[in-house]
Structure 1
Amino acid sequence: MIKKLLVNNRIRAQQVRVIDETGKQLGIMPLREALQMAAKQNLDLIQVADKTEPPVCKLGDYGKYLYKEEKKERLTHKRKTNEIKGIRLTFNISSHDLETRANLAGKFLNKGDRVRVEMPLKGREKALGDFAKTKMNKFLEVLKNIIPIKIERELKREARGLTMIISKNQHAQ
């Protein structure tokens, strides 16, 4: 959420550092002079940084400034939604369960998330790594029929089993 900004006569500082619409510094001047300059150009004087001494004020249309700030905030929220979701497959997973997990992974990928596919191996399953790899490849084939995918991290054997990270392939139609 955007904080309340001080505009025009609500600014309380005696001296302000003024920046014009293009970002060019006009220097430090008394508040009264900065307000007169803004009034001559039919613009607002917006205090953008109050922690500095003297505070930084920008000449510009207050409505446009608010719109740009909200737009920036929305973009940062969009970028943060990209998470890694986890799908866990078992060694003896049935074909129907495999399809169900592939559909779930497809939903995650459509939302823009990346998916970590895990297959934990226990006991004797660790010795049958080739069978586990074929199960993972079958999962990928089922998933490729649903949505185009890109493998971000290849199938890798770790201490507890097999893992890989996949994402939606943006370039394939």
Structure 2
Amino acid sequence: MRRGRGQDRERDARTNKRIRAREVMVIESNGEKVGVMPIEIALKRAQDQGLDLVEVAPNANPPVCKILDYGKYKYQQKKKKSEARKHQVRHDLKEVKLRPKTDEHDYDFKLKHVRRFLESGDKVKVTVMFRGREIIHKDIAIDRLREIAKNVEDIAKVEVQPRMEARTMHMILAPDAAKLAKRKKEEEKRAEESARHTEEAQGANTGGEAHSSNAPSVDVPGAQS
């Protein structure tokens, strides 16, 4: 069965004579609740004001209709959706790969990448790849993944526990918004304290220099002028 054009789109609200209910709850354009009334009276009330009767809550019993300018209403709804989309932050699933016996230097480098991705709000898939007989070192891979999870537990949580998939083992980490916010506040607090200590130290040095410059001079006997 072919779908009609625009069937997948959100349907427009029913207005005026398209409203099917016999009785509706009417709300004025200023937000005042008028009450339940026959649809004919509600339509006339809207027409007398040169406005539309718009069904804003069709599933209510009775349906809720508001008297307003439908053209302006559609524009405002479209604008709200557009603003909501602008504020939606897209987060990707990043992947960091390592081997069962990755050396410490390379491990630290990859761990920094994991932290950076998590701090940016992205999820991270940490994958351990096996080659040849390395597959017998599954215990080493599990320990590595758990170690990574431990090292980032201050900003993340394990969303998918370590699991095998063909010749790889992976784990998925997700940023913990509450922990990230707490960490950010702590960093801001430390930065403020550091700035305050620096200002106090500079003030003390300036005061000391001023005191030295204002000190009275003392003539030393026998000194040549």
TM-score strictly above 0.5 = yes
Tell me by how many angstroms 1:77 deviates: 6.4
Aligned-partner Cα distance in 2 for 1:26–1:73:
35
Cα deviation digits, residues 54-103 of structure 1 (max 9, x gap): xxx96336656644543344445656724322222223323333233223
1:73-84 to 2 correspondences below 5 Å: 73-75=82-84, 81-84=90-93
1:86-125 to 2 correspondences below 5 Å: 86-125=95-134
TM-score by length of structure 1 reads 0.59
The structure that is strand-richer by fraction is 1
Q: CA RMSD in A?
A: 4.2
Greater Rg over alpha carbons, structure: 2
Residue of structure 2 equivalent to 1:85: 94
Structure 1: unaligned runs, 5 residues or longer:
1-12, 49-56
- The question of whether the paired residues in 2 share the 8 Å contact of 1:20 and 1:26 is answered with no
- The question of whether the paired residues in 1 share the 8 Å contact of 2:92 and 2:122 is answered with yes
Residue of structure 1 equivalent to 2:216: none
Q: Call closer, same or farther: CA 1:25–1:65 in 2, change over 3 Å.
A: farther
Q: What SS class does the counterpart of residue 93 from structure 1 fall into?
A: coil
Tell me by how many angstroms 1:151 deviates: 0.7
Residue of structure 2 equivalent to 1:155: 162
Tell me by how many angstroms 1:123 deviates: 1.1
Aligned-partner Cα distance in 1 for 2:143–2:72:
59
Say which of 118, 129, 148 aligns to 2:138: 129
Aligned-partner Cα distance in 1 for 2:77–2:144:
49
Query: Does residue 166 of structure 2 align to residue 171 of structure 1?
Result: no
- Greater displacement, 116-125 / 132-141: 132-141
- The question of whether the paired residues in 1 share the 8 Å contact of 2:156 and 2:174 is answered with yes
% of aligned pairs identical? 21
TM-score by length of structure 2 reads 0.48
